[in-house]
Structure 1
Amino acid sequence: MSDRFDLVIIGSGPGGYVAAIRAAQLGQKVAIVERERLGGICLNWGCIPTKALLRSAEIKHYLDHAASYGLSAEGVGFDLVAVTQRSRRVAAQLNAGVAHLMKKNRVTVVEGEAALAGPTSVKVGERRLEAANVIVATGARARELPHLKADGVRIWTYRHAMVPPAMPTRLLVIGSGAIGIEFASFYADLGAQVTVVEMMDRILPVEDEEISAFMAKAFGKRGLRLLTSASVEALVADAEGVTATIGGRAERFSHAIIAIGIVPNTEGLGLEALGVAMDRGHIATDSFGRTSVAGLWAIGDVTGPPWLAHKASHEGVVAAEAIAGHAHAHPMDRSNIPGCTYSRPQVASVGLTEAQAREAGYAVRVGRFQAIGNGKAIALGEPEGLVKTVFDAETGALLGAHMAGAEVTELIQGFAIARQCEATHETLAATIFPHPTLSEMMHEAVLDAEGRVLHL
């Protein structure tokens, strides 16, 4: 059985399903293949349900500290099963939403395991899908090592940690990227004693060094134990817990989470037979998503870092427009992709860190502003935060912005827009920010870059 389409997409995560919608809008006949659930890892096991978990933990934190707001809420407890069930309901609702969007845009959904029978031919079971173009959007999965393997009971990946069989009492988190830090923050707010182990010399190593230091201090105040420049040499589970060998010394934990990165889902697709060029295990593409094989495209986590849902979605739009020959198709600019970590406090950034800017040869001008000088932050009871801006001292261009504190994941888009619109220090400084808002911290950090800060 063979069907003909303009475009076939393998994978329905935030890259795949967005590409399908945009291609359909541009008049393409589209099919999308999914082996598990529409929405992929992000919607079902990542971005969305983890935020539901973190929201529950955040509310518990506020209830635990109700007295500081003049309120009383004694004996606050939680039902871990109910917390995780709410998270699963959120994921299910959005999964149904993606199904609706596929139907609305007349995208054919094919369930099953896909393999490439050729650059523009996809086999799903006994069914063959022929197309003018194919997009691979198969995403990635949690990385494991021979001595660091999950068992789902005591040793978890992020998927296990989202539907835990038991509440950890002493939790080991291996890796301090966004995934590890978010789970460390979540379980700490629910009362677990948390230890984070990071091989690099600081947590959140992709962030600006000042932000990493700020977060280390904030987590220390919360009682999290952070071991940097350290590694876990062995991890052994038994019926009572987990024994981890850290720096040659054995320690006991109730549970462990492995958060040491991800591995692209490229196996079994038939890429090798087609001679598709790879880059350190990921599919190599140009700025429009083209692979080295004509007619075959790739987007999202399978193409390499940064492994972010919004990057995948934007790549999906870019590829769909290029395939359709859209007049305004534009290349992907990976230098302007915001990064967010939804811990408490939150972290967000876009562009170059100060160190990266200096290494690139820029003469930089740096501005900083702390949340303690912001009226809205104080009123919210969130006076701990830092906004840092990095400008080109010669042109005034915004090279990067880095933030930690309450709701900074909602604020970072302002700096992303500024970079996209090529705003300068002068235009940002002249912008009127509303009062009282957390966004005023952004303005103050801009002003501070020229010694004009007002409220500190």
Structure 2
Amino acid sequence: MHDKYDVLIIGGGPGGYVAAIRAGQLGLRTALVEKQHLGGICLNWGCIPTKALLHGAEVAHSIAHANQLGFSVGEVSFNLQKLVQFSRTVSQQLTGGVEYLLKKNGVRVIDGTARLCGKGQVTVSDARGEKHEYRADHVILATGARPRALPGITPDGEYIWTYFEALQPERLPKSLLVIGSGAIGVEFASLYNDLGCKVTLVEQAPQILPVEDTEVSAAVRKSFERRGIQVHTQTLVTQAQVTDTGVCCTLKNASAEQFLEVERVLLAVGVQPNIEDLGLEALEVGLDRGFIKTDAACRTNVFGLYAIGDVAGPPCLAHKASHEGVICVETLAGLAGTAPLDHDYVPGCTYARPQVASLGLTEATARARGRAIKIGKFALQGNGKALASGETEGFVKTIFDAETGELLGAHMVGAQVTEQIQGLGIARHLEATHESLLSVVFAHPTLSEAMHESILAASGKALHQ
């Protein structure tokens, strides 16, 4: 006798648990299989705990510069373990909330490791090694991804870290080499620098934050170097040898090779999908560069089998996974009007200092696609709220189609830009044009006024520059 469900979801991260909640809301008999932690990497080891630690780094930065506002701060002590425990407490609170929401919506949570054993058939092995079989009309794969390693550089959990170890260090290293400058690498570089660690950041690509607009990346690099972070682009780490005192690393670029000894190394070179031991081969599930290939409704090439989130390919972001979870469930449930996800307009946020937020096409991508464009840019140095807050580093850049007025891209660097980018995301979704955005009234004094000035600047109408 098999347990039968309308929907069975494998993986309880931001994609899986949101899909399960939506399926429960629609009255579908739903089960969610999770082998370790509800909330997945994001709630337990990624998005949430890193932001808690970065909040601590912001406090450290504020204390260090308190004298600029007239405050005299005496000797300050810092307990790293208390900060780490704060981040873990935040994660635990949120994962508890996920468990409550699943129960509230009638979702059965099954603890164990799942494997496909046929179309609509799943075997789950529990902690005791016992196997249980389940059937479902629809199976959704939401198994996520894990840190990617480099040839010859293998994380050991002590000297060579992934973000798992970087989130809960036993002590603060005096020096850290971060390999990879995507959002994860840049955030940890900023975090550890603010906590007092000597940081070196290495990137193989020509710029740090490779997916961001070139001007954004250049601004962040300049800011990092001003803070004392050593940045090397177009550089490979060819060897990382553990020694008695730390890790001896070999850095190589087109013209030279140098050696650097650090206490710890953090690998932040991207992720690889969790597709092993899922039973994909027997069902001949289609893959694309290792990720599960899907259509606009998250369907694989196997009838009744879907994939969402990181396992289905980039951008590997929690909010993208959640959105796909809703699209997937509403489509299989037959709801009318469910819109596909436009991957070009999934917002990206990096919570370093300064923050980075972006939406849509970069200037280079827009030009490469043959679009005639007009660009507006406004520096936060001309924004009253930024001046009053002492946060004048950064700018807003907006890109419009010169003929139609369509918003093609928005790129922001500076304080709290991750909280502002969605304003332009809403404008894009509602098909606002450059002309209509010109007449929007922005409150004063706010950081968001820089967004309006950037829009004005695209037509040569900026008022404060």
TM bracket (short chain)? over 0.9
| Equivalent runs, 1:20-169 vs 2, <5 Å | 20-125=20-125, 126-169=131-174
Partner residue, 2:305: 296
Contact 1:11 1:34 in 2 (8 A): yes
How many angstroms apart in 1 are the aligned matches of 2:244 and 2:102? 45
Partner of 2:293: 284
Deviates more, 1:329-338 or 1:103-112: 329-338
Q: Which stretch of structure 1 is more off in the superposition, 259-268 or 159-168?
A: 159-168
Task: Give the partner amino acid of 1:8.
Answer: L
Matched with 2:181 is 176
Offset of residue 146 of structure 1: 2.8
Matched residue count: 456
| Aligned counterpart, 2:250 | 245
Whole-angstrom distance in 2 between the partners of 1:372 and 1:332: 36
Q: Secondary structure at the match of 2:31?
A: strand
1:198 equivalent in alignment to 2:203? yes
TM-score, normalised via structure 2 length = 0.97
Q: How many angstroms apart in 1 are the aligned matches of 2:336 and 2:318?
A: 25
The structural deviation recorded for 1:227 is 0.3
Confirm or deny: 8 A CA contact 1:153 1:165 kept in the other structure: no
1:315 shift after superposition: 0.1
Pick aligned residue for 2:420 from 400, 407, 411: 411
1:186 corresponds to: 191
Task: Give the gaps of 5 or more residues in structure 1.
Answer: none
Deviations 1:207-240 (A, max 9, x none): 0000011111111111111000101000111231
Could you list the per-position Cα deviations for residues 171-221 of structure 1 after superposition, in whole angstroms to 9, with x for gaps in the alignment?
100000000000000000001110000001111010000001111111111
Q: What is the match of residue 231 of structure 2? A: 226
- Judge which range, 233-242 or 6-15, deviates more: 233-242
Asked if residue 323 in structure 1 is aligned to residue 332 in structure 2, the reply is yes
What is the aligned counterpart of 2:344 among 323, 329, 335?
335
In structure 2, how many angstroms separate the alpha carbons of the residues matched to 1:129 and 1:405? Answer: 50
Instruction: Give the Cα–Cα distance (whole angstroms) in 2 for the partners of residues 320 and 303 of structure 1.
Output: 15
- Within a 5 Å distance, the mapping from 1:358-397 to structure 2 comes to 358-397=367-406
**1:59 Cα offset (Å):** 0.7
Distance between the aligned counterparts of 2:215 and 2:119, measured in 1? 46
The range that moved more, 72-81 or 248-257, is 72-81
Q: Which residue of 1 aligns with 2:19?
A: 19
1:212 paired to 2:217: yes
Aligned partner (choices 387, 395, 408) of residue 399 of structure 1: 408
Please give the alpha-carbon distance, in whole angstroms, between the structure 2 residues aligned to 1:130 and 1:324.
17
AA of the residue aligned to 1:52:
A
- Tell me how far apart the structure 2 counterparts of residues 295 and 246 of structure 1 sit (CA, whole Å): 48
Cα distance per residue 1:340-392 (max 9 Å; x no partner): 00000000000000000000011110000000000111111101111000000
Q: Does the CA-based 8 Å contact 1:60-1:76 persist in structure 2?
A: no
Helix, strand or coil at the partner of 2:420: helix
Letter in 1 for 2:301: S
- The percentage of aligned residue pairs carrying the same residue is 56
In the TM superposition, residue 46 of structure 1 has moved relative to its aligned partner by 0.3
Q: Which amino acid aligns with 1:77?
A: S
Contact 1:14 1:312 survives alignment (8 Å): yes
Displacement after TM superposition at 1:145 (Å): 2.0
Instruction: Give 4+ residue runs of structure 1 displaced > 4 Å after superposition.
Output: none
Distance (Å, rounded) in 2 between the aligned partners of 1:73 and 1:93: 33
Amino acid across the alignment from 1:56: G
**Given that residues 202 and 212 in structure 1 are in contact (C-alpha distance below 8 angstroms), is that contact kept between their aligned partners in structure 2?**
yes
Displacement after TM superposition at 1:419 (Å): 1.0
The Cα RMSD (Å) is: 0.8
Read off the aligned partner of 2:212 and give its amino acid letter: E
Match of 2:383, as an amino acid? N
